[in-house]
Amino acid sequence: MGTAPLFLVEELPASGSVLLDGPEGRHAAAVKRIRVGEVVRLGDGRGAVGRAHALAVAKDSVEFALDEVVHHPAPVPRVVLAQALVKGDRGELAVELATEAGVDAILPWRAARCVARWEQGPRGEKALARWRSTVREAAKQARRPWIPEVGEPVSTADLAARGGPALVLHENAGAVLSAADLPADGEVLLVVGPEGGVSEEELATLAAAGARPVRLGPEVLRASTAAAVALGAIGVLTGRWCERDAAPPAPSART
């Protein structure tokens, strides 16, 4: 039996009933074909997830009764992904995979070698909306309590000004991610370049601000898949992928 589907609501009360309408209600009633008595999960995308069963089903809405609500803490350390704009649907694939792998926030990065260009105006707004929609649906698919925020596009200077720990994925880096000194809490910025890679000027700017170039391994990954692989490594190397309420793994010797 599969895991109960997750539907998103604006606000999740501690108890009582919840009417799921709008696009989510239509999806539950017409696509998922939820039936009376069926158990689902309802979440607010901000850590609260409730177990609920269907009380009544209409054409484009479902009324649920909440059985219990659990508030899940956000993972630590928090990982923010600066994902360079990627042409075609590979940008959406990148943020979809990163969301499934557990990223906490995404910054679309206007890197120097980006083929894709999100210009100011309707076209750029439409592209950003697609990323946000993709992230929302991927979070639902992964049954995530927290939906990653997708911010406005940023420049290299914006990334350098953020401060704090930062890792730049680069195929020629001398250090490997598995040996990186990752914090137990706080925030980590993960920078992934475009198809043409991170330029030397960008690498120098980010390194001057404290960022550390690292590589994942001997293979060179696509711009659309590198973040997901790195997030998996970070999940194992920190306490992010521990069972909830379990202690993080003890640091191991790294070479």
83-111 confidence digits (pLDDT tens): 999 988 999 999 999 999 999 999 999 99
CATH architecture of the domain 78-237 equals 3-Layer(aba) Sandwich (3.40)
Domain with CATH 2.40.240.20 in the chain: 6-71
pLDDT at position 246:
45
Domain 6-71, CATH among 2.40.240.20, 3.40.190.10, 3.40.50.720, 3.30.450.40: 2.40.240.20
Q: Which residues pair with 17 in a beta bridge?
A: 65
DSSP alpha helix (H) spans, the chain: 22-26, 90-100, 122-141, 156-160, 200-208, 226-237
Low-confidence ranges of the chain (pLDDT < 70): 1-2, 243-255
| β-pair partners for 57 | 62
Q: Does the reported pTM lie above 0.85?
A: yes
Handedness of CA 18, 19, 24, 26 (dihedral sign): positive
Q: What is the pLDDT of residues 115-127, one digit of tens each?
A: 888 888 888 899 9
